[in-house]
Structure 1
């Protein structure tokens, strides 16, 4: 089965749809500003879903929404590379770095296997495995840019990663008092298992001394987004060696992501540039998340059945227990 578009190309002005997306982004950013522990990306996905479920969007909105959900989103993934500080990641030590890599790979592979066992579609299990093992909604969207799936499957994956990431965000601080972990160990646990970066911040924030290491561990997982996307793209090329449907060996936006990470590693960029780039990146990613959120249909998510919900639960429990066990063993 090749890479297919699930919706026809549309013509017309992108302005109406982009105006709607901009309004959604403004609200999401405002909510995140008032409540920093809440990810603007999560709010944007939820807003898009609310809009799509309480009203029927006119066809004139489609070009702008698709532009935001594809091109703007890919630009956001490129700028995400500027958030990576390789020096902070390397300071963690090879044991913690190895733990992060193992957690991502094992969670991705086992989630794919569990998806087959539970009868979840291959495309949906791929998106869930990517989002839950690496960095939540951004990873789901990036993987969909490499191997485009049905819009309903993308919406389900986004809904699941938001749901279970939020549960983990509140559960880990509550469970911390029941463990004998040090603040540094808790930081490794939170950074290695919670889905979104903002959710990691919210989960680690209540424990003094845990936040910095949690963010560094989380960014280690984000680094792995590029090689995973490249690996999936390479696998697609092997499946379709003689057709014109083959994706590029390494998608252009993945190369852009790596290039931005390399630029950040030079240490030459002034703080004002990094601050501005971070803001622009958040806006672009929020725009993409809002656009993808408009594909979320509550009835469809509810109809997804217990198998899909169980897959999300098992994947979350897997990475949480795996990282906790690894943290205790290597610390």
Structure 2
């Protein structure tokens, strides 16, 4: 009888776990539907889903009965999404054609993170959110934030706030670029380098560069892929400094766990660059399906993080980092424009 009761309890826990995972995908679906509406189509599924999750938490509270499934989405699915995201990075193209752009990307990433952290100290803004926004602005938006967040031991709430801000601000900048493109005295190639070197997400780069033509789109994605490539060495730099910081703090000595999911990210990058399409032919519809699945996994993970966001805390903690990020993004855009 005890065995049957234990089995029933395990089954019940499994069902609630599954319901929690399904709940994050349900909100992700609502985010997708919301992002398909006119005016919100450029905002994107990710940002819309996080907004819905935050609103749900505000009005209905955190669904603790679904907690295990929600945590699975926000942690395990997040890492899986980052691993699959590696397929978007074509290392071969970077090594062949993008080494010059890569040097520019190194300077941009270092300058953006330094400037953001410095401004956060000057204006007494939340340090974690500001750091994550600096990483997202300098590297590749939500994916970079999601990769660095566990290394710097960010709270789920701070990670979700950072991702929501970067998605929304990045969209505004991408739309602004498309409006400026016809009046700027830049060649399609120069405009593409500008967009790829300064915009936040791959999707933002594509939105901004596509109206300028195929050449602009190709060079912009190349510039952006260089920034994505630098995510891995940046992560190891953060690991080094975090471990040094923990060693200096005798009360909180805990080494940063090695981010094995970044190894998966690299492996997928190698597979996408040198195996798929060269050694093995994979139909385009399958690759598109994997890309779509990656987006859904990432969106469900961000829903899990978004459910931890308290709107009152959001107002208190996010306003200054938001202003700093906008300011740094504007400085990045202007200086990069005049350096091209």
Sort the Cα spacing of 1:89 and 1:41 in 2 relative to 1 into closer, same or farther, 3 A: farther
1:111-130 counterparts in 2 under 5 A? 111-130=116-135
Distance 1:88 1:55, change over 3 A: same
Q: More deviation in 297-306 or 276-285?
A: 297-306
Residue correspondence of structure 1 range 79-94 to structure 2 within 5 A: 79-94=84-99
RMSD: 2.5
Tell me which residue corresponds to 1:271.
282
Write 1 or 2 for the structure with the bigger share of helix. 2
Asked whether 1:205 is paired with 2:194, we answer no
Matches within 5 A, 1:77-156: 77-156=82-161
Structure-2 residue corresponding to 1:181: 186
Equivalent residues of 2:43, 2:171 under 8 A apart: no
CA contact (8 A) 2:73 2:300 kept: yes
Q: Say whether the 8 Å CA contact 1:66–1:291 is kept in structure 2.
A: yes
Q: Which runs of 4+ in 1 moved over 6 A?
A: 33-36
Structure 1 unaligned residues grouped into runs of 5+: 1-10
Question: Secondary structure of 1:265's match?
Answer: helix
Paired residues of 2:151 and 2:242 also in contact (CA < 8 A): no
Gaps of 5+ in 2: 1-11
Relative to structure 1, is the Cα distance of residues 266 and 32 closer, same or farther in structure 2, using a 3 angstrom cutoff?
Answer: farther
**Correspondence 1:286 to 2:284:** no
Q: Which has the larger radius of gyration?
A: 2
Query: Residues 110 and 294 of structure 1: is their aligned pair in 2 closer, same or farther, counting only changes over 3 Å?
Result: same
CA-to-partner distance for each residue in 1:147-188, whole Å, 9 max, x for gaps?
Answer: 222333223322321232122011111222332111111111
**Which of 228, 235, 245 is 1:239 aligned to?**
245
| Aligned-partner Cα distance in 2 for 1:190–1:50 | 32
- Alignment-derived partner of residue 302 in structure 1: 315
Query: How many pairs were matched up?
Result: 316
Tell me: CA distance 1:20–1:187, structure 2 relative to 1, closer, same or farther (3 Å). same
TM-score (norm 1): 0.86
Q: 1:113 to 1:190 in 2, by over 3 A?
A: same
Task: Give per-residue Cα distances to partners, 1:93-148, cap 9 Å, x unaligned.
Answer: 43322212211121112211111111123322221111111111222122112222
